[in-house]
């Protein structure tokens, strides 16, 4: 595994042929009281920004959680760089980064600390982590809020902190759940640009969203409905098999 995966600053893992690895989900079924996902198979390609859409309750967040190794599928497998995403504990692999729908910010930490701790957890020196966190907040236009407690921030500001935290580690896989739901158009553009930049580095980038504008900005689009994959498409030039 490369340095980038270790601390998220260099290239993503690649296949033996030299191509960056894809995130592959095969025959995923997830049952929790009812069947939330039903035999879903798809591949999130490295270097592409993939949109995952569907109505509320269609299984987007559950699919992202399984893709990121937070949930164990009832059936089926998930793999990235020839290793399963499910590690047996519900903790994600270090080469995964999330932007959660509920942000998952830690209230005892400031905005900057919420970002830098993701780097520190990956072994980055605290001072370097703080500097990178500051820079990441700056990219999302909230550098001046670094010392604020997260509970003092508005919903949109929290969401941008969550984005900065997800992006800053430069993980091989970035799973973003509704990352623009509380953002204005300008900030949405910033987020989409950052997503695009991550993909350009060879990362797998997946965005769960309701927003058609976000879907349009993505390279690939999968749609879910009642736990089933109802559409698999490459937006624009290339069509992708569902």
Partner 1 sequence: MTRALRGAWSRRGALLTLLAMTTVVMSGAVAVLSFAEAAGTSAWLMSPLLLLGAVAIPSIGRELATARREEIGLARLRGIRGLRLGTVLLAEPLVTIVLGTALGFVLGRLVARVAGGAWLDADVPELGSTAAYVALGTAAASLLIVLVGTWATVSEPLSVQVASRVRPRRATTLVLFGSVFVLVGAAVAAYRAREVVDGDPDALVLLGPALVGLALGQVAIWALRLLARGATGATATSGLARFLATRRLSRADDLVTPMRLLVAAAVVGVLALTGASSVTDWVDGESRIAAGGPRSVPVENGAVQAMALTRDLDPEGKHLMAVSVVPNETRLGERRAYVDAARFEAVAGAFYDDTPAADAAARIAELTTDSADLTVSGNRLSVSSRLVEQESSFTVGLILQVYYVTEDDNGASVEVILSPRLDGPDDRRSVRLPGCATGCQINGLAFARMLGEPGGGVVNVFAIDDSTYRVLLTDLSVGDQSLLDVAWRPNRADIDAFANSRFNAGVDLQFRTVSNRPDGLELHPLPGGLLNVDLAAKTDPIPEFASGAEPGVPLDVSGNDRVLGDGTRFEALPLLGGIGQLTDLPTSILGSGSTVPDAETSIVVADGTPAAMLTALTAATGTKARSLEDVRRTLSAAAGADQSRAYTLLAAFCALVALLALAAGVARHLRSYRHDVASLRVLGVGLGEARRAGRVELASLAVVVVLAVTAGGYLAVQLLLGGLPLVNESPAAVPLNAAPDLLTLAVPAGLAALAMLLVGGRARAVRPSATRPSTLREEEGR
Pairing assessment for the beta strands 83-84 and 75-80 based on DSSP bridges: antiparallel
- Shorter beta-carbon distance to partner 1: residue 177 or 194: 177
Least gap, CB of 18 to partner 1 (angstroms): 28
Q: What is the dihedral of CA 20, 128, 65, 12, to 10 degrees?
A: 0
- Tokens in use for 18? 């030299």
- Which residues form the interface with partner 1 (CB under 8 A)? 61-62, 65, 70-71, 89-92, 94, 98, 100-109, 113, 117-118, 120-122, 126-127, 130, 149, 151-152, 155, 165, 177
CB closer to partner 1 out of 141 and 156: 156
CB of 214 to partner 1, least distance (A): 19
**Best CA proximity match to 146, nearest among 179, 157, 97:** 157
Q: What is the nearest approach in angstroms of partner 1 to the Cβ of residue 237?
A: 33
Q: Which is nearer to partner 1, 98 or 222 (CB)?
A: 98
* Nearest CB to partner 1, comparing residues 162 and 217: 162
Task: Please give the angle made by the CA atoms of 213, 217 and 222, to the nearest 5 degrees.
Answer: 90
Closest by Cα among 84, 81, 87 to 13? 81
- Shortest distance in whole angstroms from residue 84 CB to partner 1: 16
Q: Are 47 and 202 in contact (CB under 8 A)?
A: yes
């Amino acid at each position: 595994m490369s340095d980038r995966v270790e601390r998220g600053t260099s290239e993503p893992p690649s296949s033996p042929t030299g191509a960056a690895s894809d995130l592959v989900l095969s025959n995923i079924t997830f049952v929790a009281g009812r069947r939330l996902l039903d035999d879903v198979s798809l591949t999130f390609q490295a270097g592409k920004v993939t949109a995952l859409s569907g109505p509320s309750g269609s299984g987007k967040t559950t699919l992202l959680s399984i893709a990121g190794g937070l949930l164990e599928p009832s059936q089926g497998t998930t793999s990235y760089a020839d290793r399963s995403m499910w590690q047996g504990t519900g903790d994600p692999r270090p080469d995964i980064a999330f932007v959660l729908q509920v942000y998952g910010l830690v209230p005892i930490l400031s905005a900057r600390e919420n970002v830098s701790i993701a780097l520190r957890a990956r072994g980055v020196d605290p001072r370097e982590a703080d500097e990178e966190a500051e820079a990441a907040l700056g990219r999302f236009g909230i550098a001046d809020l670094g010392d604020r407690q997260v509970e003092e921030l508005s919903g949109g500001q929290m969401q941008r902190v969550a984005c900065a935290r997800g992006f800053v580690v430069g993980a091989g896989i970035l799973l973003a759940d509704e990352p623009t739901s509380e953002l204005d158009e300008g900030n949405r553009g910033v987020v989409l640009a950052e997503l695009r930049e991550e993909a350009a580095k060879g990362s797998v980038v997946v965005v769960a969203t309701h927003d058609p504008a976000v879907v349009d900005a993505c390279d690939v689009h999968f749609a879910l409905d009642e736990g089933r994959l109802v559409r698999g498409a490459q937006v624009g030039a290339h069509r992708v098999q569902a």
